[in-house]
Structure formats: C-alpha cells, structure tokens
C-alpha cells in the first residue's frame, strides 16, 4: 500500500473531528455550569450561615442565653446584633468570632465549661465602631454634669467594660462582672495612685453637693 493510501485509510471518518469538538465543548460548558451552581449554592449558604449565627435569635437557642437576650431586648443596644459587640472589627476578627462560636457550641453540647459567661468580653475596638466620637472631646453627662475624657482613659489602657459592662445586658451580667459609671467605679482608679483625686478633674463646676438624706433617715437615726 502506498504512503498516501495508508494515511487516507488511517484518517478518521469525515465529520468525526467536528463532532468530537462539539462534545468536548458541551462537556466543558456543562461542567462549568455545574461548578458554578454548586459554588454559588455554597456561597449563599455560607453568607446566610454567617448572618444567622450573628443574630440574637441564634444565641437564644441555648437556654443559658435566654436571660441575656431578654435583657438585651430592653437595653439601649437592642438594635445592635451580637457580632457587632462580641467580635473585633475586620475579617480576622469576624472569622475568629465564628471559630470561637463553634467552640462555645461544642462546649455547650459536651458540658465542658464551668462558666456561662464564656468569653463575653467586648473589646474597645468594637465599642468604637459606633462611639468613636467620644474620643474627639471630653464628654459631659447631662444628668450628672460630670466630664470624662474617654480618650485619656483609652490611651492609658482603660477598657470600656471597666465602667459600662451592663449597658447591653443590664441585670443579667453576673455580679462579679457588672460595672456601672458611678462614683464608686471612678474611685477604683481615682485613688491617688493610679489617677489623681482632684474633684475638679471631672466635676468642672466644682465638687458635687452632698447627697441629701432620704426622707425619714434622720428620724430613724435618732
């Protein structure tokens, strides 16, 4: 058999190559579409999961959290979800919060924890998401006329929770962890050692007037 005849005999039937190319293109399109659908479904499920696990309703599914959620619903922070306060800002803070949440769920299922408060600390960075303006100038309370420099406190290592740990969960915060912006709390630092005791630092209008006795107190005391 001559060389030309042999090549002609070995050649694929006419039209076979176009059909093979069409099948390959269909396979690629189908595979790409399937991967896109699966990937899109996983993405949507992930987004929904991240959103749902950030909501108080999810936290409230554990009965140990019921009192905290009930108190939060009556607090000034009732429009702020759990994630905003209990995880640091940024991607790594968000992912770290999800990992910590999985650990809490695992501990809850196994009973492997001693304290229901878990790691409930709120970092300053979370508070400053909404309250950064408090660092711009001293804040004067309209109720007490006390002036506080939050910038000075934060820059010297103070934590928002040192004074405001009950702002979102009110009476549900354990007694040992509960703090309030009261004179007793101020005096923990304004003791002459950590911070000065000069009244005029915070009471810009002069020292506060003595608290009047409650009605009947003098009579009761003789």
Q: Domain count of the chain? A: 1
In a domain, 107, yes or no: yes
| 54-69 tens-digit pLDDT | 788 888 887 778 899 9
In a domain, 42, yes or no: no
Q: Please give the distance of CA 88 from its chain centroid, rounded to a whole number.
A: 6
Nearest to 121 by CA among 139, 96, 141: 96
Domain that holds residue 174: 56-209
Mean pLDDT of 109-117: 65
Amino acid 39: pLDDT: 86
In a domain, 69, yes or no: yes
In a domain, 6, yes or no: no
**Token pair of 162 as six digits:** 């040192």
Please state, in angstroms and rounded to a whole number, the distance separating the CA atoms of residues 217 and 126.
44
- Between the alpha carbon of residue 83 and those of residues 25, 59, 90, the distances in Å are 46, 10, 11
Amino acid 178: pLDDT: 87
In a domain, 11, yes or no: no
| 118-177 tens-digit pLDDT | 557 799 999 999 999 999 999 998 888 899 999 999 999 999 999 999 999 998 888 778
In a domain, 50, yes or no: no
List alpha helices for 53-194, DSSP H: 56-59, 66-72, 82-86, 91-110, 124-131, 150-155, 161-164, 183-189
| 40-50 tens-digit pLDDT | 888 888 788 87
Please state, in angstroms and rounded to a whole number, the distance separating the CA atoms of residues 153 and 181.
13
Q: Is 117 exposed, middle or buried (0-12, 13-18, 19+ CB in 10 A)?
A: middle
Question: Is the pLDDT score of 188 beyond 80?
Answer: yes
Residue 214 pLDDT grade (very low, low, confident, very high; cuts 50, 70, 90)? very low
Please state, in angstroms and rounded to a whole number, the distance separating the CA atoms of residues 72 and 86.
13
- Coil, strand, or helix at residue 147? strand
Per the listing, tokens 């306060």 go with: 85
Please state, in angstroms and rounded to a whole number, the distance separating the CA atoms of residues 73 and 204.
35
40 sits in which H/E element: helix 16-52
Q: 86 with 68: CB under 8 angstroms?
A: no
Residue 222 pLDDT grade (very low, low, confident, very high; cuts 50, 70, 90)? very low
Question: Is the pLDDT score of 52 beyond 70?
Answer: yes
Q: 134 with 150: CB under 8 angstroms?
A: yes
In a domain, 25, yes or no: no
In a domain, 23, yes or no: no
Amino acid 13: pLDDT: 58
Amino acid 153: pLDDT: 92
What is the pairing mode between strands 139-140 and 147-148? antiparallel
């Amino acid at each position: 058999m001559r060389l030309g005849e042999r090549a002609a005999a070995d050649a694929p039937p006419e039209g076979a190559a176009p059909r093979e190319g069409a099948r390959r293109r269909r396979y690629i399109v189908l595979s790409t579409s399937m991967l896109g659908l699966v990937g899109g479904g996983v993405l949507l499920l992930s987004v929904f999961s991240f959103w749902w696990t950030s909501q108080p309703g999810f936290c409230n599914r554990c009965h140990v959290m019921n009192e905290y959620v009930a108190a939060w619903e009556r607090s000034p922070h009732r429009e702020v979800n759990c994630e905003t306060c209990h995880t640091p800002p940024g991607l790594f803070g968000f992912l770290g919060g999800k990992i910590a949440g999985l650990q809490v769920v695992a501990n809850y299922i196994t009973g492997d924890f001693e304290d229901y408060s878990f790691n409930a600390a709120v970092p300053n960075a979370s508070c400053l998401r909404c309250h950064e303006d408090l660092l711009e100038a001293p804040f004067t309370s309209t109720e007490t006329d006390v002036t506080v420099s939050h910038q000075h406190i934060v820059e010297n290592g103070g934590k928002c929770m040192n004074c405001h740990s009950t702002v979102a969960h009110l009476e549900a915060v354990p007694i040992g962890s509960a703090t309030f912006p009261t004179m007793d709390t101020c005096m923990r630092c304004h003791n002459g050692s950590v911070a000065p005791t000069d009244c005029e630092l915070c009471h810009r209008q002069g020292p506060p007037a003595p608290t009047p006795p409650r009605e009947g107190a003098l009579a009761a005391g003789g």
